[in-house]
Amino acid sequence: MLVVSTWKFGYDANQKAWSVLQDGGSAMDAAVAGVTVTELDTAVRSVGYGGHPNAAGFVQVDAAVMDGRTLGYGAVAGLEGIATPTAVARSVMEATDHVLLVGNGARDFAIDQGFEPQEMLTPDARSAWEDWRKQGEDHDTLPADSHDTIGALALDGNGDLAAVCTTSGIAYKLPGRVGDSPLIGCGLYADNDVGAAVATGRGEEIARTCGAFQIVTLIRQGQTPQEACETVVRHLVDRVPSSAEHQMAYAAIDKDGNVGGAAVRAFPYAVTTEGVNEVREGFRLFSETD
């Protein structure tokens, strides 16, 4: 059994996910429960409740789940007023024969499924947004925590894999903007036969290369998760050099429990398995001073 989540805050998500696995829960149960902790944590300004709003002051979240057993996938994008979008994405996968719901349709569906609508903009996030507006809405002066998606990968006791991804996207984005996180193959991918991968960073860059799918394909062809993550980061930066101005990061696992992580810049990710519960530093292409 194994759980891997992006960023330092992934550590808390992993504790929850690991306890679900230990209680006999599935990889999907564990991954969703883990990231729900992050979605509800107001200290995390880039995911779920308390996330940074879009330019118009509304928190619009994106989330997705993928089930490695069936290649089943469900996602929501541009969803407002629901604090746990990953659970909604799971409902899209399980309760509809669609894969992606957006905007008001996603919200109506969530409410229909029993999710409680709520205000998503916290006073802290509102005041940071108001400051940004007063300073002239300059996209070069975004808050330091203006993005940081949580992606989580889980391998359960049956050998099943799940990948999930959830974000409030880039701070002060254009209303309606959707990043890579809810897009299959870009933000996440999972296949029981091979492994699973998630992405975090600047969605506009990440979405160019379908990196999560590429990583799983490279593992299928014999690369380790670490090699596959590095290959995909290098490929993007070689192919589109301007993308290196942004952060792009991937974490991956294979079906045997090997783990990898690589990014353009510093990328901590959390790893929890039997006897291991730690935050690791991913391979990075550039140091902070490059």
149 sits near ligand SD4 (criterion: CB under 6 A): yes
CB atoms within 10 A of CB 242: 8
Total length of the chain: 290
- Which of these ranges, 177-185, 190-198, 217-225, 281-289, lies near ligand SD4 under the rule CB under 6 A? 177-185
Verify binding: residue 209, ligand SD4, rule CB under 6 A. no
Of these residues, 86, 149, 200, 272, which one is catalytic? Answer: 149
Residue 281: strand pairing partners: 268
Position 39 contacts ligand SD4 (CB under 6 A): no
Rounded Cα gap, residues 120 and 112, in angstroms: 19
How near is the Cβ of 26 to ligand SD4 at its closest, in Å?
25
**Choice between 180 and 254, CB closer to ligand SD4:** 180
Q: Residues 169, 225, 260, 282: which binds ligand SD4 (CB under 6 A)?
A: 169
Of 106-114, 134-142, 178-186, 262-270, which part binds ligand SD4 (CB under 6 A)? Answer: 178-186
Structure tokens at 290: 């490059």
Q: Whole-angstrom Cα distance, residue 48 to residue 86?
A: 9
Residue 34 binds ligand SD4, judged by CB under 6 A: no
Residue 209 near residue 247, CB atoms below 8 Å: no
The residue among 192 and 247 lying less far from ligand SD4, judged by its C-beta, is: 247
Contact between residue 3 and residue 125 where contact means Cβ atoms under 8 Å apart: no
- Residues within window 118-147 making contact with ligand SD4, judged by CB under 6 A: 147
Q: If DSSP codes are grouped into helix, strand and coil, which group holds residue 2?
A: strand
Q: Work out whether 86 is an interface residue with ligand SD4 (CB under 6 A).
A: no
149 as an active site residue: the answer is yes
Handedness of CA 226, 153, 214, 268 (dihedral sign): negative
Closer to ligand SD4 by Cβ: residue 20 or 216:
216
Amino acid present at 72: G
String of DSSP letters for 95-139: HSS-SEEEHHHHHHHHHHTTPPP-----HHHHHHHHHHHHTT--T
Residues interacting with ligand SD4, by CB under 6 A? 147-149, 167, 169-170, 179-181, 200-203, 206
